[in-house]
Amino acid sequence: MLDLTGKNALVTGIANNRSIAWGIAQQLHKAGANLGITYLSDEKGKMEKKVAELVEPLNPTLFLPCNVQNDEEIKTAFETIQDKWGSLDILIHCLAFAKKDDLSGDFSQTSREGFRTALEVSTYSLVQLAGAAKPLMTAGGSIVTLTYLGSIRAIPNYNVMGVAKAGLEASVRYLASELGSANIRVNAISAGPIRTLASSAVGGILDMIHHVEEVAPLRRTVTQTEVGNAAAFLCSDLASGITGQVLYVDAGYEIMGM
């Protein structure tokens, strides 16, 4: 049975009840994990309040601000984990951002600044958080990140995010290679398109979802819960032999030729 009791799990990337990270947090909780939740801090504390209310039923024992563009905040977050938990078993990375202008139009017109931002927030953040988690994963661990098919295919408008996800998947392999000797596994889930806050801000996402509903072997899109179940599996001892992989949770869409 899938059992995560006694495991300390840090979940990043919950923005609202449609976040894939929210689906993952719920399934980790159901499997018995002890949760720590991070949120993107803003000046007014609006996000903090919204996310705090949402996650309350999961009884998180840590609730921390973690903006990956702020080194101080990351340092403080992991010091708090060390103080309050002593060790970490699971890290869930569900963070991505590109400027809106860089998610449409000509990829060749991506600015240096836009390219840097996308790769800093969406790619480097995994390396950074894995590096911070490593000394806390004293009994081994599991790191799971989210990626998308746009890393290996040219998906219209995904543009610089595709490059960021390609870098993310390569980072998964290099991290898995390094951290394997500490029994820390690192994997990615490549989720099919889902209506979330991030994807809803993208023009044409509904057309993409309808296309998946016609073409994917299962003739539907996937849910946050299905991604959450795959994440719970990858974090569990049932996946003890799996590291460095990209697991497609996409209703089979990736295998299709059109």
- Summarize the annotated binding site for NAD(+) as residue ranges: 13, 19-20, 95, 165, 194-198
Name the H helices within 37-134.
46-55, 71-84, 112-119, 125-133
- Which of 100, 116, 195, 210 is close enough to bind ligand 0WE by CB under 6 A? 100
- Among residue numbers 5 through 64, which ones bind ligand 0WE (CB under 6 A)? none
Active site residue 248: no
Assess whether 158 carries a catalytic annotation: yes
**Least distance to ligand 0WE from the beta carbon of 157, Å?**
4
CB of 217 vs ligand 0WE, minimal distance in Å: 18
Q: Is 87 in the site for ligand 0WE (CB under 6 A)?
A: no
Does 248 help bind ligand 0WE (rule: CB under 6 A)? Answer: no
- Near ligand 0WE by CB under 6 A: residue from 55, 94, 161, 216: 161
* 152 forms part of the interface with ligand 0WE (CB under 6 A): no
Q: Which of 39, 158, 233, 248 binds ligand 0WE (CB under 6 A)?
A: 158
Residue 214 amino acid letter: E
Binding residues: 13, 19-20, 95, 98, 165, 194-198
Q: Residue 256 region, left (φ>0) first, then alpha (ψ -120 to 50), else beta? A: beta
What Cα–Cα distance (Å) separates residue 63 from each residue in 17, 19, 55, 71, 142? 17, 17, 9, 18, 20
Return the number of other C-beta atoms located less than 10 Å from residue 56's C-beta: 11
CA–CA distance, 38 with 192 (Å, rounded to integer): 24
Out of 158, 174, 248, 253, which one is annotated catalytic? 158
Nearest to 93 by CA among 117, 74, 115: 74
Shortest approach of ligand 0WE to residue 138 CB, angstroms? Answer: 32
Instruction: Decide if residue 130 touches ligand 0WE (CB under 6 A).
Output: no
Full strand arrangement of the beta sheet holding 184-191: 62-65, 34-39, 8-11, 90-93, 141-147, 184-191, 246-249
Q: Hey, which residues are catalytic here?
A: 148, 158
